[in-house]
Structure 1
Amino acid sequence: MEYTTDLLEILNNIDPSLLDYQEWCNVGMALKYEGYTASDWDYWSQLDSKRYHKNECYRKWESFTGSGVTGGTIVQYAKNQGWVPPIKESGHELDWNDVIDKDEQVIVDKNWIEGKEVKEPLNWNPVAELITYLETLFDSTENVGYVTKTWLKDEKHLPTQGCWDRTAGKLIQQLNNCKGDIGAVLGDYNEEAGAWIRFNPLDGKGCKNQNVTDFKYALVESDSMVIEEQNAVLRELELPIACLVHSGGKSLHAIVKIEAADMKEYRKRVDYLYNICKKNGLDVDTQNRNPSRLSRMPGITRKGRKQFLVDTNIGKSSWDEWYEWIESINDDLPDPESLSEFWDDMPQLAPPLIEGILRQGHKMLIAGPSKAGKSFALIEMCIAIAEGTKWFGWQCARGRILYVNLELDRPSCLHRFKDVYKALGIKPNSLSNIDIWNLRGKSIPMDKLAPKLIRRASKKDYIAVVIDPIYKVITGDENSADQMANFCNQFDKICNELGTSVIYCHHHSKGSQGGKRSMDRASGSGVFARDPDALLDLIELELNESHYKQLRNMSACRVCVDYLKEHKPELLNELSQDDVLSQTIMIDFCKSKLGHDYYKELDNLVNEARSKATSITAWRIEGTLREFSKFPPVNLYFKYPVHVLDEDGALQDIDPDDIKPQWKKAKEARKSPQDKKKERMNSLEIAYEALKVDGEVTVKALEEYFTLSKNAVKNRVKEHPDFTIDNGVVIRN
């Protein structure tokens, strides 16, 4: 719901002392749902000094989960106390063809209520009415609670606990044989007070809520309008009323079908029922919420007036039918459209956010295994969008972006952005286009995060929101299709409310991935793959020694060229295009042309670059797109902290290990002991450099990386001359 005034301003128009306990709780639930804090609720509650208890709001706040009570409840309470919503400045004079928006779930126009007469029965048969009541509400084996005795308090007759020892079948049998004397069956009652009956069955041991055996019905009673208007509203609302009883006083008692499975569901449904009634002008007595509540018994006289049965089984036949009807009355779903109306005047497509991949306002998922650099890829994309540059070769639209950081601490996240900027060689001209929302340690389920995000981002004009990673905010079981569909709907809510794209990352499922389609690699329900408009999937390519030899060569050459550019740019004119691609030629050239101090510094830089080359990993991006045609796989290297496109095509012919043909696997398996040892040592170097990104490298981290036992990892480390183990930490000599 959209509010023209801040909810806290609206709250100032509500006196908490005029609300009952449940309504006070509803205010807290609504504030939490709309993204406000417990202190906001506590500050307002202090206005009711008689009932306010310190810290009570904070204790209850944690229990408010999934209540479904929204800010509309606060708006309604304010209206009930006389608050008038301000008129929007953008209003206009109504035309004949204009449609006046209706409040949600409002069926009855309170300005046009026409009362429906309630007539007393002419040939009144009290016993028959009570039998009809019992047959309608109870099974023959269910115990019925009723009260005929009263006690005086302040000159007012109040009901006692009454009786609950007989079943409906027994009572009906005795009433059929009582010859019209109800008192002979139930006991004589005081005609000044009348008599009462409980509408839910009991266990025969008491008459409290814990004695209710089946949560079938709830009581709707209101005495704020005349009987005829009550009758009209109850019927127009199509409430699933099992029995409608005249109280003999100022109100009708509607026994409404609730059909709840337990007390928790009963409370939820009664709250919903009472809320609908209030929205439609029926000010319900909220003290009647309890399932063990007493209602007026038909077939009884009270101060000379009849407590009689007005009607049975009116309105919808069940709770479910009524609930679906109510929800459909004022839904916000669009009407069906005829294609012929737009065939010659098609709406304009949303412009691309990432050329050939994703449109603005759409959703994208990036999936990949651990250590694929997914977070770095998202940061690279944030920078590309902020600066309007390319990302993995795809041109990005320039605009403002929000990065929701759920995993890194704040300093690490900020440093990572700066490191990526430097590694990409992009000038930070548009830093104001990047907003970072650091939520590590403060993450909440997505259905709670979405409204808070929308509220904070509503005036920022973001063209993209990045959520990294989603496992921190997943609600429900990621393998459940319906729960994950509800989870992904939160992304739609953000897209629709803000008009922005939502981009998020997720991890691969366990096991080999190369033989799967890109859309089937993400962990959990297939909803993850089918929900986004674009899915980009990263899968690792295994590099052999020849690839790493080439990478070390390229790294050394690049260092030499960069060093000459900075210190002796004139020497570059003496080198050919082939020269700058050979580390041997470049090193010899620099050695001969540079002085001792220059060359010593360059030699250290070359050795460092060669060492880093062993930690480079290779990846392939495949995609599943809804709006664009399929793109050829994109190969790239992850050179911490950025991904670099494979512009030379060196990775093009590499297949992921688990989709290689058997003959190729067999050939690669036939290696000499020396080759196998060299491969083990090389893989250890790669693993060490990859894990070093997160800090010190432990034996346990290598166990998880290689999926080997502790002893196997220790043996591999001991086998390598450059590594040692000190208290479980692997150190490179």
Structure 2
Amino acid sequence: MIIVDNKNLLEILEYIEPSSLEYQEWVNVGMGLKEAGYTASDWDSWSRSDVSRYHTGECFRKWDSFQGTSSPVTAGTIIQMAKNNGWSPEKSGHELEWDDIIGAKEDLVIVDKNWVECKEVIEPEYWDAVNHLVKYLEIIFEASENVGYVTESWEKDGKYLPNKGCWDRTAGELIQQLNQCKGDIGSVLGDYKPEVGAWIRFNPLDGKGVKNENVTEFKYALVESDTMDIDQQNAIIRELELPVACLVHSGKKSLHAIVKIDAANYDEYRKRVDYLYNVCQKNGLKVDNQNRNPSRLSRMPGVMRSGKKQFLVDTNMGKESWKEWQEWIEGINDDLPEPESMSSVWDNLPDLAPPLINNVLRQGHKMLLAGPSKAGKSFALIELCCAIAEGKQWMNWDCTQGKIMYVNLELDRASCLHRFKDVYNALGWQPKSLNNIDIWNLRGKSVPMDKLAPKLIRRAQKKNYIAIIIDPIYKVITGDENSADQMANFCNQFDRVCTELGAAVIYCHHHSKGSQGSKRSMDRASGSGVFARDPDVLMDLIELELTDAILKQETNKVVCKVCENWLRKHVPNWDKEVSLDDLCSQSAMIDHCKNLMNSNTYRAMQNDLFEAEKSAHQRSAWRIEGTLREFPKFPPVNLWFDYPVHNVDTVGSLKDVDTEGEKAPWQKAIEKRKPKEAKAKERKEAFETAFEACGIDGSVTVESLSEYMGVTDKTVRSRVKEHGGFWIDEGIVGKKT
């Protein structure tokens, strides 16, 4: 238990700023002081520092109403408030308990106050007042930014307070006018009272006012302490290596450090200032908490105050940026967990995260889908969205059903929504669980991942998503794609999302340029190897090289299927005429359709045949390989990308097909080479098929053959001559008897 002598409680009270307290907290301080034996004057003296809310006599009136209760507010309440603001028992001394650690270093403590050597602040002998102010303006503001400043003041209870002042001129305008004023700052800014001095704001304004909402950029915060020796303030500011843009002497008993904050918005500004003040307090710099606001006034360098100069002590001190400073602080004082003994958890191991994609990915883990352009990566991710939403199978794996967010960074809203519907239709699924899919359309509005992550987390926190899909990541990459350390920092943002939401993060990335077949799957993703090694699951798509034989086989399949469907629909008892062997032969099925259907039905079927053949030639083939951290490696899965979905090759047509780039060009050229006899036979069979198809309409013409075969009239005449079994007379083609 901490024991504090009454004589030390007022010293502890210095760590609590009345302006930062709610009304009831302020009252509790008064109750605690009274219960500890202090006077109303003590409470009143402390409360006076809250200038905006202090009212003369209020403390004494309240004091008389504190009559005591069965559970009074005690000095312990004040001590806890002080501890929350950086006070520790070591500052006042306390009796050690048996389990206290002597010399233990507190988090975020850099400075040992017992060994700090004061750093003297020397007033400049040569007083170029204009230069001090101009230099301040040049460092703190851009030329186009509006500056707020105050030269007029008013008196309250013997204390001078600033008016609202001016905010209608830019830094550029002020610098130009100051450089021409011949040392008369008052002619530019207005005359100030020499006994009072003047003030200036450190964040740019919008030219419409001086409140927090008028701040346009949250660049800086003010660190000021007026309860310490000024040389000691100077020493601690430097020991802490605060990223100070300008250090200004107030002309009285404090230094004003204008610290680089570089916050993206007001919320981030508040968090960073809280962090800054906490570090300062813990290191013995007793900061005035009333200076937290981004619109706060600071002392203006270049003016006099009661015979003392308000001057620039130093500029661009400490670390270069907020980020560098914070990393330095936390590098010395990390908040990493302590190592744990395996023996302590051996019999009580934590539960593993449940699977999201069975035998592939767990919930709360990361997955990268990598592949080249035109692999249909976005469609594959949309298929995964639908599978998770409906609790169905994705490619070859069962998915856990749940709620999912798809972050669309590339497509316009309409295209994205249509893709989801097209995928559902192509998969043949009923959209029973569309409420499980949320789409966040950010095309044209995306920001770097370190900025996107907190925005995403805020929107997703109460939605219970089990997965977040980000497509594609090149839109949000921060830094050099080939830099390992920068990409590691980028990938850490995915960890942040996983940790805070408990959801899996799934994203896609492109392959590097060039042939990929000879590379390992982990080496195909573009940029740093971090991309492939960071996620828990890497799913890699690589294209397969389709041979003429496979294309012909696939064309045969789709043509046979079209013929079977038309026979089933239009010809009763058709299966009595068609053998099992015929069902697998394109030419046999076309002959059956021609013989069993009437001419109009057969002609109508031609359009379906044309579309089926076209679709077969437009299909691409892919092989997906996995590198898994939590599960055994699965055998490669072969897929057909039949726009807009990927279908697993269940019959094994692609089993022995080589991947793109696996063979040398000369090997591929030899394999593609066919004997002349085989080529001639193929052309002969193709011509006979075309002649039969065009004969449905009566006479066969060169023009109709040209259109059907997709070649020129000249080529048709050449094929007739080459075949030898046909004749041409005035554009009419016939078969020799």
- Equivalences for 1:696-711 in 2 at 5 Å? none
Residue 654 of structure 1, CA deviation: 2.0
How has the CA–CA distance of structure 1 residues 152 and 283 changed in structure 2, closer, same or farther, with 3 Å as cutoff? closer
2:277 alignment counterpart? 277
Residue 239 of structure 1, CA deviation: 4.6
How has the CA–CA distance of structure 1 residues 222 and 427 changed in structure 2, closer, same or farther, with 3 Å as cutoff? same
Amino acid at match of 2:482: N
2:711 alignment counterpart? 721
Q: Answer yes or no: is 1:253 the counterpart of 2:265.
A: no
In 2: Cα distance, 1:404 partner to 1:477 partner: 23
Q: 1:635 touches 1:645 (CA, 8 Å); kept in 2?
A: yes
Amino acid at match of 2:526: S
In 1: Cα distance, 2:432 partner to 2:546 partner: 37
Q: 1:107 touches 1:329 (CA, 8 Å); kept in 2?
A: no
In 1: Cα distance, 2:416 partner to 2:118 partner: 72
Amino acid at match of 1:283: N
2:495 alignment counterpart? 492
Amino acid at match of 2:493: Q
1:639 alignment counterpart? 642
How has the CA–CA distance of structure 1 residues 383 and 157 changed in structure 2, closer, same or farther, with 3 Å as cutoff? closer
Q: 1:240 touches 1:256 (CA, 8 Å); kept in 2?
A: no
Amino acid at match of 1:603: Q
Instruction: After superposition, give the CA deviation of every residue in 1:171-212 in whole Å (9 maximum; x if it has no partner).
Output: xxxxxxxxxxxxxxxxxxxxx97999xxxxxxxxxxxxxxxx
Residue 522 of structure 1, CA deviation: 1.3
Q: 1:401 touches 1:464 (CA, 8 Å); kept in 2?
A: yes
Q: 1:365 touches 1:536 (CA, 8 Å); kept in 2?
A: yes
Amino acid at match of 1:538: L
Question: Percent identity over the alignment?
Answer: 55
Q: Answer yes or no: is 1:342 the counterpart of 2:320.
A: no
- Equivalences for 1:588-603 in 2 at 5 Å? 588-603=591-606
- Equivalences for 1:587-666 in 2 at 5 Å? 587-660=590-663, 664-665=667-668
Amino acid at match of 1:253: S
Select the residue among 476, 479, 485 that pairs with 1:476. 479
1:362 alignment counterpart? 365
Q: 1:403 touches 1:467 (CA, 8 Å); kept in 2?
A: yes
2:689 alignment counterpart? none
How has the CA–CA distance of structure 1 residues 677 and 153 changed in structure 2, closer, same or farther, with 3 Å as cutoff? farther
2:456 alignment counterpart? 453
Q: Answer yes or no: is 1:441 the counterpart of 2:444.
A: yes
Residue 255 of structure 1, CA deviation: 7.9
Amino acid at match of 1:583: Q
1:559 alignment counterpart? 562
Amino acid at match of 2:467: A
- Equivalences for 1:2-13 in 2 at 5 Å? none
Q: Answer yes or no: is 1:405 the counterpart of 2:408.
A: yes
Amino acid at match of 2:608: L
TM-score calculated relative to the size of structure 2: 0.55
Residue 450 of structure 1, CA deviation: 2.1
Instruction: After superposition, give the CA deviation of every residue in 1:41-100 in whole Å (9 maximum; x if it has no partner).
Output: xxxxxxxxxxxxxxxxxxxxxxxxxxxxxxxxxxxxxxx999xxxxxxxxxxxxxxxxxx
How has the CA–CA distance of structure 1 residues 395 and 670 changed in structure 2, closer, same or farther, with 3 Å as cutoff? same
Residue 509 of structure 1, CA deviation: 1.2
Amino acid at match of 2:276: I
Instruction: After superposition, give the CA deviation of every residue in 1:364-409 in whole Å (9 maximum; x if it has no partner).
Output: 1111111111111111111211222211211111122222222222
Residue 546 of structure 1, CA deviation: 1.1
- Quote the RMSD (CA, aligned, Å): 5.7
How has the CA–CA distance of structure 1 residues 429 and 233 changed in structure 2, closer, same or farther, with 3 Å as cutoff? farther
How has the CA–CA distance of structure 1 residues 431 and 295 changed in structure 2, closer, same or farther, with 3 Å as cutoff? same
2:519 alignment counterpart? 516
2:703 alignment counterpart? none
Residue 112 of structure 1, CA deviation: 10
Select the residue among 380, 391, 409 that pairs with 2:394. 391
Q: Answer yes or no: is 1:540 the counterpart of 2:549.
A: no
Amino acid at match of 1:276: L
Residue 333 of structure 1, CA deviation: 3.9
Q: 2:364 touches 2:504 (CA, 8 Å); kept in 1?
A: yes
Residue 658 of structure 1, CA deviation: 2.3
Q: Answer yes or no: is 1:464 the counterpart of 2:442.
A: no
Question: More deviation in 395-404 or 670-679?
Answer: 670-679
Please list every run of 5 or more consecutive structure 2 residues that lacks an aligned counterpart in the other structure: 1-18, 21-51, 55-79, 94-116, 131-150, 162-193, 199-219, 282-286, 310-317, 683-708, 714-737
Query: Number of matched residues?
Result: 498
- Equivalences for 1:284-363 in 2 at 5 Å? 287-288=297-298, 326-327=329-330, 333-363=336-366
1:417 alignment counterpart? 420
TM-score calculated relative to the size of structure 1: 0.55
In 2: Cα distance, 1:595 partner to 1:574 partner: 16
In 1: Cα distance, 2:396 partner to 2:574 partner: 32
In 2: Cα distance, 1:515 partner to 1:565 partner: 47
In 1: Cα distance, 2:456 partner to 2:604 partner: 50
In 2: Cα distance, 1:246 partner to 1:131 partner: 14
Residue 566 of structure 1, CA deviation: 5.2
How has the CA–CA distance of structure 1 residues 319 and 457 changed in structure 2, closer, same or farther, with 3 Å as cutoff? closer
Q: 1:270 touches 1:289 (CA, 8 Å); kept in 2?
A: no
Instruction: After superposition, give the CA deviation of every residue in 1:297-330 in whole Å (9 maximum; x if it has no partner).
Output: xxxxx89xx99xxxxxxxx999999856754798
Residue 530 of structure 1, CA deviation: 1.3
Q: 2:624 touches 2:637 (CA, 8 Å); kept in 1?
A: yes
How has the CA–CA distance of structure 1 residues 467 and 426 changed in structure 2, closer, same or farther, with 3 Å as cutoff? same
Q: Answer yes or no: is 1:108 the counterpart of 2:109.
A: no
In 2: Cα distance, 1:449 partner to 1:363 partner: 17
- Equivalences for 1:58-97 in 2 at 5 Å? none
Residue 617 of structure 1, CA deviation: 1.1
In 2: Cα distance, 1:130 partner to 1:502 partner: 51
Residue 254 of structure 1, CA deviation: 4.9
Residue 678 of structure 1, CA deviation: 13
Q: 1:114 touches 1:229 (CA, 8 Å); kept in 2?
A: no
How has the CA–CA distance of structure 1 residues 570 and 470 changed in structure 2, closer, same or farther, with 3 Å as cutoff? farther
Instruction: After superposition, give the CA deviation of every residue in 1:349-369 in whole Å (9 maximum; x if it has no partner).
Output: 111111121111111111111
Q: 2:222 touches 2:258 (CA, 8 Å); kept in 1?
A: no
In 2: Cα distance, 1:231 partner to 1:563 partner: 94
Q: 2:118 touches 2:234 (CA, 8 Å); kept in 1?
A: no
Instruction: After superposition, give the CA deviation of every residue in 1:507-556 in whole Å (9 maximum; x if it has no partner).
Output: 11111111111111111222211111111111111112111111111111
Report the secondary structure of 2:512's partner residue. coil
Residue 564 of structure 1, CA deviation: 4.8
In 1: Cα distance, 2:527 partner to 2:248 partner: 53
How has the CA–CA distance of structure 1 residues 253 and 319 changed in structure 2, closer, same or farther, with 3 Å as cutoff? farther
Residue 605 of structure 1, CA deviation: 1.0
Instruction: After superposition, give the CA deviation of every residue in 1:396-445 in whole Å (9 maximum; x if it has no partner).
Output: 11122222222222222222222222222222222222222222232222
Amino acid at match of 1:282: D
Please list every run of 5 or more consecutive structure 1 residues that lacks an aligned counterpart in the other structure: 1-17, 20-79, 83-101, 116-128, 159-191, 197-216, 297-301, 308-315, 680-718, 724-733
Instruction: After superposition, give the CA deviation of every residue in 1:116-149 in whole Å (9 maximum; x if it has no partner).
Output: xxxxxxxxxxxxx999645xx99xxx988689xx
How has the CA–CA distance of structure 1 residues 581 and 325 changed in structure 2, closer, same or farther, with 3 Å as cutoff? same
In 2: Cα distance, 1:362 partner to 1:552 partner: 41
Q: 1:240 touches 1:319 (CA, 8 Å); kept in 2?
A: no
Mark the structure with the bigger radius of gyration: 2
Report the secondary structure of 2:661's partner residue. helix
Residue 601 of structure 1, CA deviation: 2.7
